Copies of this chain bind each other. A is one copy, B any other.
């Protein structure tokens, strides 16, 4: 691209600008050469790190967040050079097109929101190492996701070695191989190119990539779980430089961080600091636990109250705790793992579709967010939870039903503490959604305010039906219920 092309360049708000910059390819450019850029809009300057992409090519990626004229300067500087080589350019940031709502940010203590103000309720699933599978399987995963109700996907940078995950991937984030050893001072651009392509494809499907930066499912097999501190930092900075500008990136510091014997709590704090200092966009940051829960008497676990944590990412099987966690953390609660629908021998991997659906409802009705995952035994060990492929369970269509109902709710809906015995979300005097789960009351008395009339629907969350009751209700009202499991009541004020 020549200068005049760059001058006339137009880039949509919240999309990815990529500048390609030639530079030295001798020595180890990953270590020896620094690429930086400054993007300017009015008086505001955003500093961004570039990265080496192999073959003498350096790149800088940038996501402009306001429309209008931007200018930039790039700088390529070898560590042994006195001065670097600078270049300049301009571009125009145009308004976002339909379907581009910008990155997801924190709206308040309970909610996320897209940067353009559109509500975002995370409805996640996991395909932890789908980008490490054969191309055909990756394509199938995308086809499945295109029809599924999920708008967030948890996925790992590093490959996974674990039950049902014993195959070797083709590409690794670092140069080298397991047999001949990895060169932890050099990355493998082919690996990253595929990862980026997949992240962009998720973006096109409206799916946030909740990218897991470390995990324990290695145990020295490749050694990515036990790199030295310098390598960890190099890896984090490289990842941020390559991927931070994708508007659908979230940083998950780890999956099951407490199962990583080689990292200390100081390491996790340091990793958060590195991410926070190097990410010009301040993408969402959290960390996901193994068994240990936060407990005021047990500070061994990661404390999501720390200021650099943007939201809570939790593994726990019991969703009633969402209410208490909200009060403790005062940040949005995402239960990213609450067991998996399936029939694996592992305890965490064999709950029913009914149970998975009920856990979603229990968490959402308390103002939290719940993540799906699926683990059915498969003749070729293609298990969605980890590798992607196809979905076989009964919960996804119910999760789609839930997502629609919750997205239709007033945006200011929040957990209502006035109903202590059944999780209830809504807006006092205007809107109530109350979920009974494994409880099956024969009727329910609700204290609607006097002088306001409500239409009431009985929602069967499993059979996905909404049955509007005749007439309207006002004041203390008795609502007859079907006496089945997994029922919710929705009441909406009418004029």
Task: Point out residues on A near B: beta carbons under 8 Å.
Answer: 296-297, 318, 343-347, 350-352, 355, 377, 421-422, 436, 438-445, 483, 485
Q: Is B422 a contact partner of A347 (Cβ separation < 8 A)? A: yes
Q: Is A442 a contact partner of B343 (Cβ separation < 8 A)? A: yes
Q: A343 with B483: in contact, given A318-B318, A355-B438 (CB under 8 Å)?
A: yes
Q: Is A343 a contact partner of B485 (Cβ separation < 8 A)? A: no
Residue of B nearest to A343 (CB): B442
Q: Which residues of B contact A436 (CB under 8 A)?
A: 350
Q: Which residues of B contact A345 (CB under 8 A)?
A: 441-445
Instruction: Tell me which of B355, B440, B445 contacts A352 (CB under 8 A).
Output: B440
Q: How far is the CA of A347 from the CA of B420 in the complex (A)?
A: 10
Q: A350 with B297: in contact, given A318-B318, A483-B343 (CB under 8 Å)?
A: no
Q: Which residues of B contact A297 (CB under 8 A)?
A: 296-297
Q: A344 with B442: in contact, given A297-B296, A318-B318 (CB under 8 Å)?
A: yes
Q: How far is the CA of A377 from the CA of B444 in the complex (A)?
A: 12
Q: Which residues of B contact A438 (CB under 8 A)?
A: 351-352, 355
Q: Closest CB-CB distance, A105 to chain B, in whole Å? A: 35
Q: Is B483 a contact partner of A442 (Cβ separation < 8 A)? A: no
Q: Which residues of B contact A443 (CB under 8 A)?
A: 345
Residue of B nearest to A347 (CB): B421
Q: Closest CB-CB distance, A125 to chain B, in whole Å? A: 20
Q: Is A439 a contact partner of B318 (Cβ separation < 8 A)? A: no
Residue of B nearest to A377 (CB): B442
Which are the 6 A-B pairs with shortest beta-carbon distances?
Answer: A343-B442, A347-B421, A345-B441, A350-B439, A350-B441, A377-B442
Q: How far is the CA of A345 from the CA of B483 in the complex (A)?
A: 10
Q: Name 7 interchain pairs, CB-CB below 8 A, sorted by A.
A: A345-B441, A345-B444, A347-B421, A350-B436, A351-B438, A351-B439, A352-B440
Q: Closest CB-CB distance, A162 to chain B, in whole Å? A: 15
Q: Is B421 a contact partner of A346 (Cβ separation < 8 A)? A: yes
Residue of B nearest to A478 (CB): B345
Q: Closest CB-CB distance, A205 to chain B, in whole Å? A: 31
Residue of B nearest to A317 (CB): B320
Q: Is B442 a contact partner of A350 (Cβ separation < 8 A)? A: yes
From A345, A351, A443, A485, name the one whose CB has the most chain B CB atoms within 10 angstroms.
A345
From A350, A422, A440, name the one whose CB has the most chain B CB atoms within 10 angstroms.
A350
Residue of B nearest to A485 (CB): B352
Q: Which residues of B contact A347 (CB under 8 A)?
A: 421-422, 439, 441
Q: Closest CB-CB distance, A373 to chain B, in whole Å? A: 15
Q: How far is the CA of A318 from the CA of B317 in the complex (A)?
A: 12
Q: Which residues of B contact A346 (CB under 8 A)?
A: 421, 441
Q: How far is the CA of A345 from the CA of B443 in the complex (A)?
A: 6
Q: Which residues of B contact A344 (CB under 8 A)?
A: 441-442
